[in-house]
């Protein structure tokens, strides 16, 4: 009887982790007509994020947390790109 409880707990934890990562998904929020290079960088970052998601799904493991960490860093990078575009708007 311990195995089913372990399986349920593992599934719950995996679901919570997936929800946390999904909440951190990067967004495309730079206007390409004003900041084409930054918008392109955001798009490339999104493609990398999606490739990491595909790798996680294909491997069916968390990859030691490294893929999830990389995805979080992509979300942070996209926010910095947005801030860069806003700063450029001031000049």
Q: What percent of the chain has pLDDT over 70?
A: 69
b/e 37-47 (16+ beta carbons within 10 angstroms → b): ebbebbeebbe
Average of per-residue pLDDT across 15-43 = 73
Tell whether the model's pLDDT for residue 46 goes beyond 60: yes
Distance CA 14, CA 62 (A): 9
Q: What is the mean pLDDT of the chain?
A: 79
Tell whether the model's pLDDT for residue 26 goes beyond 70: no
70's tokens: 């990389």
Regarding pTM above 0.85, the answer is: no
- Per-residue pLDDT reduced to its tens digit, 5-23: 655 555 556 655 554 444 4
| 22 and 71 Cβ atoms separated by less than 8 Å | no
Q: Which of 86, 80, 90 is nearest to 27 (CA)?
A: 80
Query: What is the predicted pLDDT for the residue at 39?
Result: 92
């Amino acid at each position: 009887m311990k195995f089913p409880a372990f399986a349920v707990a593992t599934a719950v934890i995996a679901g919570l982790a997936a929800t946390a990562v999904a909440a951190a998904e990067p967004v495309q929020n730079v206007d390409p007509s004003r900041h084409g290079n930054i918008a392109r960088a955001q798009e490339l970052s999104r493609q990398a994020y999606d490739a990491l998601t595909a790798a996680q799904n294909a491997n069916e493991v968390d990859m030691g947390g490294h893929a999830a960490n990389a995805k979080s860093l992509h979300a942070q990078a996209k926010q910095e790109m947005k801030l860069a575009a806003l700063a450029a708007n001031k000049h």
